Every structure is written in C-alpha cells, then in structure tokens.
Structure 1
Amino acid sequence: MNQIAPIRPDAARNLPQPAALRAGIGAVLDIDLDAIAANRAKLIEVAGGLDCAAVVKADAYGLGAEAVAAALARAGCDKFFVAHIDEGIALRAAVPTASIFVLHGVVPGAEGAMCAYGLIPVLSTPAQIEIWRERAARRGKNLPAALHLDTGMARLGLSEHEFYALANDPSNLAGLDLRLVLSHLAAAEEKDNPSNARQREKFEDLRKRLPKIPASLANSSGVFLGRAYHFDLLRPGAALYGIAPRADEPNPLAQVVKLSARVLRVDDLPAKTPVGYNGRYVTPAPSRIATLSLGYADGFCRALGNSRVNAGFAGQKLPIVGNVSMDMITVDASSLPPGRLREGDFVDVIGGDADSVDRIAQAAGTIGYEILTALGARFQRRHSFSNEGRLA
C-alpha cells in the first residue's frame, strides 16, 4: 500500500510553525496537517492514482485555508477550489504556482482582480461566459476558465439547453481557455440513491461535446461511488478534513481536528442539584460537574446540551449536561478520581477523547460540514504535524 511521508514544518515556505498555547485562551482547535495530507492520499488510492484537487472554501471549512493549502501543496496538490474571489485572492500567497478555481465564477467589476491574481472562474451562466469573453477580447488573449454544468441539482451550472446552445457554435466559447468541465453530485453520500447514476449519465452525455477538456464530478462522497464517477479530477472538501463519506459505514479517513476547552471550575454537587439555565439537568446522584469555557457563541450548537454528546479527558467520556450557554458548557466528570480534573485543565469537546465531528453532527441534527464551518473566531487555532496521519 502507498505511504505518505509526514509533512515537516520546515519543509516548505508558508507552512506554519506549531504555536504555543496563548495565556488565558478559553478553547483551542488543533488541526493535524499530516492527517489532511494523508486523507488526500487515501482518496487518491481509492481512485487508483487519479489527480486530486482540494476544496478549501470557507477558510478550509474553518480550519485555516492558507495553512491547509500550503501543507497540501507540499504533499503534491496543485489545484484548489474556493467559493468567492476574495478567498482566492487571500489564498494566492500560500500557493503561488497552483491553479485556484473560483466556484462562484466572475461577477461584473471583478474581472481585473481575477486576472491580476491568476484565478480561474468556474462559469455557470451565459452572462458569466460573456463577461469573461469580453475581458479576454480586451486583453487580446485567451483566459483560463472552467464550465459548470447542471446535471440535476438545480443550483449552479449551465442548463442542458444553455450548454447545447453554446456548444453548437464554437464561436460562443471563443476567448476561453477551458481547463475543466465539472458538475456536482446532489446525493453522493447515499450510495444507492438513483440520482447519482442519472447525474453521471447526463454528465457523460453533455461532456461528449467537449471531449478534450478534463472533467470532474466526484466530490468527497463521490470518490467512494466507484471509478465511473472519477473522470479526470477528484474534487473533495469534507473528506480531507476527516468527515465520513457515508454516515452508515465506518469512516476510512484520519481524524483531523480536536477542540479542547479550558476548565473554569469543578464542583462536587449533591443529588437533585439543577445545573445550568432553566435547570434542564438535575444531578441524579452526587456528581462532579466541571464548567468549561465554550458555548454557542463559539459555534458549539445549543442543541448539544443535556447528555446528547460526550466530552472527554484522560481517556474517559464526560457527558455534556445542562443547556449550552453562550460562553460555557457543563460536563459530568464523576467518572474521574477526585482531583484528577482541575481548574485550568483542557477537556476535549470534539475529537480526541470526545465524540467525533460526525457524532456531534448527528446529535445536532446536521452534518459535519456545518459543525466545522460554524466554529468561532475566539478559539486559538494551532496547526501541527503529528506523524499520525500517515497511511500504512
């Protein structure tokens, strides 16, 4: 089986040095860059060695796009996707020679910045195509672009009618140096959903009109649908960050994040003591309750209170009890020996000894994508190189 060497912090420009814990910080989000690189290698292995881009929109799903992209570039990734032009501009310094695709395309007034930073718009409307063609004509040269085709999601992408109207007359694409044609799967995480095959078949049919242009269909879960969905380029986002491609199967990916919160105090409480707002939790027996510096203002969903998920410390699960407050949560630390958990210690809340991102998402009635991207700005984010994300 292929192996991936761990990334070393001194191996390339733009890779961050592991940061010391800042004094007084309430919570820390640790991001394992080796694990992200290993997950990309795993996806490449599943797809038989196919090229694999990285979706780093929304600040790499909240994990720090510049650090993540620099690490992935060092591991061989040379294609990145963002949503907005501002994200592409911010990313350029971290990956100076990579291709950066902007999924929302080009809007009037942004053409100059798109060219200045060498960004590639993913064109999804006839109006965007015309804007980019006009810019190419003024510059007197073809400009790089990708085409987004709608194959059944009814979100972004040229409709079948719009695409054929363009493709039937090659002059409609004059001035465009097409680098990629892509579409997006609507239900790839549901392997038996018939819409997957319908979208693949429609994509195959549409791209016959542009047979020489590289094609991309597989998002994170799409990689695991099989070779027929892989085409020329994988386009994962969530899978890079350890989110399970399917909720009903074991996760084959390395875990990337660990969120830990500082203990503010520890109390030994008698039975029948109400805890937190509205007394939604009442201790059933004498209990050791720890208050942590984390709340819904930090993106930790209020729905996660009252024993729906577990924090963790020293290998022990600590149920989260009581309502989640704006700045605090409470956990039942009764399973720990007296004095083992102290004020100032850090308790894992996501990952590590706590529940995984996917388990947290399930309990909150959402998906792992939302859990990661909602994590707030008050954390200290630390990027590290663990050696543990290596594929064996």
Structure 2
Amino acid sequence: MTALLEIDLGAIAANWRQLAAMHGGETAGVVKANAYGLGMAEIAPALAKAGCKTFFAAQLEEAVNLRRLLPAARIATLNGLFPHAAADFFAHDITPVLSSLRDVELWHAEAAGLGRSLPCMLHLDVGMNRLGLTARDLARLRETPALLAGLRIDYVLAHLLASDVPDHDANPAQLRRFAEAAAQFPGAKRSLANSSGMFLGPDFQTDLARPGAALYGLNPIPGRANPMRSVVRLSAPILQIREVAAGESVGYNATWRAARASRIATIGVGYADGYHRALSNAAHAYFDDTPVPLVGRVSMDLATFDVTDVPANPGDPLLLLGPHHGADALAAEAGTIGYEILTALGRRYQRRYIGA
C-alpha cells in the first residue's frame, strides 16, 4: 500500500493571486528545486494560467525544462553563468542572473560574439555574502563601463537574509544598501522581496517580487497565523497494528518503551521518503482529527505510531501532512524548516494533483 501525496494546484494559484494583489509591482513565481519538491511540470503551467509571467529557477537545466513548458514566459536562473554555458542560455531564451564579474564578462563576450544586446539581471550582494556583485565589483564596473556593453539590464536584485524576522536589524540595513547599489543602474528595475519580504511593508515593494515558499503554503510570517492556503496533504495507510505489552520497546535501539499496553501502527513511510529520522519520538500524525504520536525511531521505509486511543485498523490512513499539521509544524518537530520538508518529499509517493 502506497502513501498518497496530494498537491492542490488551485491553492497554489490562489496563493500567487493573493500575493500579486498585495504587491505594488509584478509578482514572479520561484519554481526552483522542482517547485520546492512539489512538481514544476504541473505547478508552473498552473501559475502561468493564474497570470504569472516571470519565473525563477536556480540552474540552467531547470530553466531549460521550464522553457519547454512555458514558451512565452520570462525565465531567469539565480545561480549565475559558468564557462561554455552562455550559448545555451541564449539558445533557450533564458535570462541569467549575473552574480560575479566573471558572469558579466562571459555574458558580455556572448553579446559581442552575437553582435546584439542580451538581457540579464544583476545580483547585488548587500549582506548575504553568498552570491552577488560586491561593492568592489561594482566599483570595477564603474571604472570599466565597457564590461556592460551589450548587456540589457532588466532588473537588479538582492536577497534578504532575515525577512522572516520583521524587526531584524538586517532588514532596513539591506534595504538601504540595496537602494545605494541599485542607483548605479538607473535604467534597471528593482527586485528585492521574497515571500517574507513581501510582508515587511511598502518600502520593500519593488518592481518585481519573487515569492517561493509562500506559494507552496509555508508561513511567510512565522509566529503569526499563516495567511497562505494549505497546499499539501500526505497520508499513508496503516500496514499493521501490533499489540505491545507495557515495558516492551518499539523500533531500533529501543528508544521508546510502552508505559501501558499499547496498539502500535506501522506505516510504509521512512527517511528514504523524506520523512526525516530526526522526527523519531517527536512527530505526530493524525487519525481523523486526533493526533497520534510517533514512537520509536523512523527507519528507512517504516514509521510507527501509538494508536491506542483511536479506533484505527490496518488499511486506515494516517495523515502526516495536512491543513492542521503542515510542513512548518512537521519541520518544528524535526528541528528544521518547512522548505526542507517539502523539498525532501520522496519519489515513492503516489502523487495526485487536484484543483487544476
């Protein structure tokens, strides 16, 4: 019996429309990592149908697959260029986000070789210290403006490092640094806000917002009620129920022992399916509307739950993810973030797309 993963395309589209309505400029859709693990091939067309015209992937291969789905969309990649790839970006009409002087030089050379102007976006590093043009790089571009010849800079963008913490000092500091750096490119539009950044107020409402997590039901404002619709429902049928006497253990290393005579349900989901081992003795599933605790270690293919207090039987489903126990809640039990829960969802689930 296979676990069932239901993904609500209608809810994803509704989340995008909600975010677009609250944003002053254009709203893109971030579909990197196979649309956060939920299926780019199904989700990207649903977003396009809802009105989304600009999409972000991380890598060229993702973008090429996306281009096959959406021939007319603007598609950009966040991870920059690398040697010998510029021709592929041009061939598939992919806009690179240039994150270093090397990226700029590669795209400049491609434009010169083709004898035409090529679109791009410039990533400005204003505090994340991962990718992006540094203050020193920007100084070099001021000193050598010929490097930008043949480049049509559609957007300058930056990444917020603490947008999910509204009162974090980094937010106004990054906003200020972004404005200062972006002023070097007066003809380019600006893109700053991610999902959480869209909730930081009007100062963060630039020309293009780039929501990702919020589209997929993750809470962009932690600590407050989630304004986004639930998108994912994961259920698994009970394979077997074992009668366990008081004092007996369950699972590897005997990390849980029954304090009373107990009924233990085993489901066919484990860490090979993205149901993390860190959830051992910490997570909950739901039988109808009643939470049932995970007991013992999560193993590669199996997990065990205490169903002593509910009328569960073999074949009945346990709900692992759903409206009242979403990816953020499961992530808290695993000591991680909802992003990791979604992107880790395994290939063995039966996937069903609803709400299209």
CA contact (8 A) 2:120 2:153 kept: yes
Superposed, 1:233-272 pairs within 5 Å as: 233-272=208-247
Superposition deviation, residue 352 in structure 1: 4.3
Residue deviations 1:265-293, cap 9 Å, x none? 11233322211112211122222211000
Are residues 1:214 and 2:184 paired? no
Q: 2:319: which partner in 1?
A: 348
The gaps in structure 1 that reach 5 residues or longer are 1-23, 387-392
Contact 1:180 1:216 in 2 (8 A): yes
Query: Which residue of the other structure, out of 150, 169, 172, is the alignment partner of 1:175?
Result: 150
Query: Is residue 353 of structure 2 the alignment partner of residue 383 of structure 1?
Result: yes
Q: Distance in 1 between matches of 2:199 and 2:222?
A: 13
Runs of 4+ in 1 over 3 A off after TM superposition: 167-170
Shift of 1:346: 2.5
Q: Match of 2:294, SS? A: strand
- Provide the alpha-carbon RMSD of the alignment: 1.5
Contact in 2 for aligned 1:47/1:230 (Cα 8 Å): yes
Aligned match for 2:168, one of 173, 179, 193 = 193
| Percent identical residues | 46
Letter in structure 2 aligned against 1:76: G
Answer yes or no: is 1:81 the counterpart of 2:51: no
Per the TM alignment, residue 329 of structure 1 is displaced from its structure 2 partner at its CA by 0.3
Deviation, structure 1 residue 169: 4.8
Q: Is the 8 A contact 1:122 1:148 kept in 2?
A: yes
Report the CA distance between 1:331 and its aligned residue: 0.8
SS in 1 for 2:309: coil
- Asked if the contact 2:249–2:256 (Cα under 8 Å) also holds between the matched residues in 1, the reply is yes
Matching residue's letter, 1:359:
A
CA distance 1:327–1:379, shift in 2 (3 Å)? same
Segment drifting more, 212-221 vs 282-291: 282-291
Read off the aligned partner of 2:76 and give its amino acid letter.
F
Aligned to 1:109: 84
How much does 1:168 deviate?
5.0
> Aligned partners of 1:352, 1:323: CA distance in 2, in Å?
25
Asked if the contact 1:32–1:257 (Cα under 8 Å) also holds between the matched residues in 2, the reply is: yes
Secondary structure of the residue that 1:321 maps to in structure 2? coil
| Matched letter for residue 116 of structure 1 | A
Q: Secondary structure at the match of 2:69?
A: coil
TM-score, with structure 1 as normaliser: 0.88
C-alpha displacement of 1:119: 0.5
C-alpha contact (below 8 Å) 1:56/1:81 kept by paired residues: yes
Q: TM-score w.r.t. structure 2 length?
A: 0.96
Q: Is the 8 A contact 2:63 2:75 kept in 1?
A: yes
Q: Which one is further off, 270-279 or 163-172?
A: 163-172
Partner of 1:20: none
Once residues 329 and 242 of structure 2 are traced to their aligned partners in structure 1, the CA distance between those partners, rounded to angstroms, is 28
Whole-Å Cα distance in 2 between the matches of residues 47 and 334 of structure 1?
49
What is the alpha-carbon distance in structure 2 between the residues aligned to residue 274 and residue 169 of structure 1?
Answer: 70
Aligned ranges 1:94-173 → 2 under 5 Å: 94-167=69-142, 169-173=144-148
Structure 2, gaps ≥5 residues long = none
